[in-house]
C-alpha cells in the first residue's frame, strides 16, 4: 500500500477545535503552506485506494483542472450576460444527457444542481406542481402523499419536509415484490409522486423501472427516478440495461461526482417535461433576467428555471471530460469498475469465513467476515471490530446494517484497490478478533 497516502483517524475533537478557532491567532497557521499542512493532517484523503467508506472517492485530474479554471472566473451561471460560454456548455451537456436517458431533446430539459438530494427535491417539486399548479401561489391546503421505494435515499423524506408534505405522508413500498402492493397504494393514497431508485445507497439495487413506471402512469402519477448513484451505468453498453425503462420516467437525478470521481458537486436534474421545469421554478426578477425577444426563445438565462439564484459552472467538468477523452473513456471506466467488482466477489466467494450479504447488481459489494454466520451478534461484533482495526491501517470501509440482520461491510467499487491486499487484511485481523470474540462470548 502506498504509505505516502495517509488516512487520518478523526483526531481528538478538542485538539482540532483549538487549531481552527477563528479569532485566536494561531502562530503556525498563517501561510497557505500552513493551511495545506492543516488540511493534509486532518482530512481523509479520498484518493487513497482504500478509502471505501462512501459512494465517492478519488478525484479525476482533468476535471480537477477544470474546477480550478472555473473558480478563477468566479461567475454565476444564471444569466448568459455574465457567463456566456458556461451557459452554452451547460445547455450542450444537458442535451447530451437527455439523449443518454432516451428523452426527446426538444420536449425535455434539465439543469445542473448542487447534488443528488437537491435533484430529488426538484423532482418532487415538479411533481407537486404538475399535480396541483395552484399550490405555487396558494400554498398547500390538502394532505398530499408520496410513495417511495423502501431503498430510497433519506433525502426524499427531508424533501417531503421542505415541500410541506410532511415526513409521515411519505409511504414506503417494496419495489422488488410484485406490483400488487404498489397498485393498492396508488389507489388508496393517490400520491402526487412515486420515487424510485436506480442504484440504492447501501445494496446498490435497481428498482424495476420498466414495469413500475408503466403501472404508475396508468394512474397518471409522476415518477421520479433517483439515479444519483446508478445513472453512470448508462455510459456502458454492457450494463445500461440495469436502467431499462428510465426513458419513461418523468424526472431523473444523476450524479457524476460519485462513480466518475468528478469534483463535488457535479449533478444534474433532468425532466421529460420542459414546460413543467420552467413553470414550476419561474419567478420574475427584472433586475437580473433580460426577457428580450432574442434571449427568451433561446432560453439563455438558465437562472430562470433554477430553485436558487447563484450557481457554479459545474456542468463544465463533465463537458471537458467528454471533449478531451470522449465517451469511450467513460465506458471503459465503468466497465473496469464492474470487472474489479467481479474479482472482489469471486474472491469473497472462495475464501473461508467471508460471506456475501447478496449478489451485487451494481458496484456495492456487501459482505461479512465471521466464523459463525448463524450468530448475528457475534458476526456484528466481529465486523465492527475489524473495521476499527482496519482504520489503524489506513483502510476505511463503511459498515451497515439492515433491519435485525448483522452489521456488514459495504465496499463501493469506485477507487481502484488491490483485492487481495484488502481481503488478506480483513482475514488477518478477523481471525484474531473472532477468536477473541468467542473467548469473550463464551467465557
Ligand X SMILES: Cc1ncc(COP(=O)(O)O)c(C=O)c1O
**Could you say whether residue 116 binds ligand X (CB under 6 A)?**
yes
- Distance (Å, whole) CA 443 – CA 436: 10
- 375, three cell numbers: 450468530
- Distance (Å, whole) CA 10 – CA 41: 10
Mark 57-90 as b/e (b = at least 16 C-beta within 10 Å): bbbbeebeebbeebeeeebbbbbbeebeebbebb
230-289 residues in contact with ligand X (CB under 6 A) are 255, 267
The kind and range of the H/E element at 411 are strand 408-412
Number of chain positions touching ligand X (CB under 6 A): 15
- Distance (Å, whole) CA 378 – CA 370: 8
Candidates 163-171, 226-234, 276-284, 382-390; binding stretch for ligand X (CB under 6 A): 226-234
Q: x/- site string to ligand X, residues 34 to 63, per CB under 6 A?
A: ---------------------x--------
The order of strands in the sheet holding 146-149 is: 109-113, 267-271, 251-255, 222-227, 193-197, 146-149, 170-173
- Distance (Å, whole) CA 407 – CA 399: 6
Q: Give the shortest CB-223-to-ligand X separation in angstroms.
A: 15
Q: Which residue of this chain has its Cβ atom nearest to ligand X in the complex?
A: 116
Candidates 9-17, 33-41, 109-117, 121-129; binding stretch for ligand X (CB under 6 A): 109-117
Residue of 46, 87, 93, 117 that binds ligand X (CB under 6 A): 117
Query: With respect to ligand X, which residue has the nearer C-beta, 201 or 379?
Result: 201
125-184 residues in contact with ligand X (CB under 6 A) are 153, 155
Query: With respect to ligand X, which residue has the nearer C-beta, 191 or 199?
Result: 199
- Distance (Å, whole) CA 90 – CA 318: 9
Q: Which of 426, 440, 333 is nearest to 378 (CA)?
A: 440
Q: x/- site string to ligand X, residues 193 to 212, per CB under 6 A?
A: ----x-xxx-----------
Query: With respect to ligand X, which residue has the nearer C-beta, 135 or 163?
Result: 163
Q: Give the shortest CB-117-to-ligand X separation in angstroms.
A: 3
Q: Catalog residues that contact ligand X under the rule CB under 6 A.
A: 55, 115-117, 153, 155, 197, 199-201, 226, 228-229, 255, 267
Amino acid at each position: 500500500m502506498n504509505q505516502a497516502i495517509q488516512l487520518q483517524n478523526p483526531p481528538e475533537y478538542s485538539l482540532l477545535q483549538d487549531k481552527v478557532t477563528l479569532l485566536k491567532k494561531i502562530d503556525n497557521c498563517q501561510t497557505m503552506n500552513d493551511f495545506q499542512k492543516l488540511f493534509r493532517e486532518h482530512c481523509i484523503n479520498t484518493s487513497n485506494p482504500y478509502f471505501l467508506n462512501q459512494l465517492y472517492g478519488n478525484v479525476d485530474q482533468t476535471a480537477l483542472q477544470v474546477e480550478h479554471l472555473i473558480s478563477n472566473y468566479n461567475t454565476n451561471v444564471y444569466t448568459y450576460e455574465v457567463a456566456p460560454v458556461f451557459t452554452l456548455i451547460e445547455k450542450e451537456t444537458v442535451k447530451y444527457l437527455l439523449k443518454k436517458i432516451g428523452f426527446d431533446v426538444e420536449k425535455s430539459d434539465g439543469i445542473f444542481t448542487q447534488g443528488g438530494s437537491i435533484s430529488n427535491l426538484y423532482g418532487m417539486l415538479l411533481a407537486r406542481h404538475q399535480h396541483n399548479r395552484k399550490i405555487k401561489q396558494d400554498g398547500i391546503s390538502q394532505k398530499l402523499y408520496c410513495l417511495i421505494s423502501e431503498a430510497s435515499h433519506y433525502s426524499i423524506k427531508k424533501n417531503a419536509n421542505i415541500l410541506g408534505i410532511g415526513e409521515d405522508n411519505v409511504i414506503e413500498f417494496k419495489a422488488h415484490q410484485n406490483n400488487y402492493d404498489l397498485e393498492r397504494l396508488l389507489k388508496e393514497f393517490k400520491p402526487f409522486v412515486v420515487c424510485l431508485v436506480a442504484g440504492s445507497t447501501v445494496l446498490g439495487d435497481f428498482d424495476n423501472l420498466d414495469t413500475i413506471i408503466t403501472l404508475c402512469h396508468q394512474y397518471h402519477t409522476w415518477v421520479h427516478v433517483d439515479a444519483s448513484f446508478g445513472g453512470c451505468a448508462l455510459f456502458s453498453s454492457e450494463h445500461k440495461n440495469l436502467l431499462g425503462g428510465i426513458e419513461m420516467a418523468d424526472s431523473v437525478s444523476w450524479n457524476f461526482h460519485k462513480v466518475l470521481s468528478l469534483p463535488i458537486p457535479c449533478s444534474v436534474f433532468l425532466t421529460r417535461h420542459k414546460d413543467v421545469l420552467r413553470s414550476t421554478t419561474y419567478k420574475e426578477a427584472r433586475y437580473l433576467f433580460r426577457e428580450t425577444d432574442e434571449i427568451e426563445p433561446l432560453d439563455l438565462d438558465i437562472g430562470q428555471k433554477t430553485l436558487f439564484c447563484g450557481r457554479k459552472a459545474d456542468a463544465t467538468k463533465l463537458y471537458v471530460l467528454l471533449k478531451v477523452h470522449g465517451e469511450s473513456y467513460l465506458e471503459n471506466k465503468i466497465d473496469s469498475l464492474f470487472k474489479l467488482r467481479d474479482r472482489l466477489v469471486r474472491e469473497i466467494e472462495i475464501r473461508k469465513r467471508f460471506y456475501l450479504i447478496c449478489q451485487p447488481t451494481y458496484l456495492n459489494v456487501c459482505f461479512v467476515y465471521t466464523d459463525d454466520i448463524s450468530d448475528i451478534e457475534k458476526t456484528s461484533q466481529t465486523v465492527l471490530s475489524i473495521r476499527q482495526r482496519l482504520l489503524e491501517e489506513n483502510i476505511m470501509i463503511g459498515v451497515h446494517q439492515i433491519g435485525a440482520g448483522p452489521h456488514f461491510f459495504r465496499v463501493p467499487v469506485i477507487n481502484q484497490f488491490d483485492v487481495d491486499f484488502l481481503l488478506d487484511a480483513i482475514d488477518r485481523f478477523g481471525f484474531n478478533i473472532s477468536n477473541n470474540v468467542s473467548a469473550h462470548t463464551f467465557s
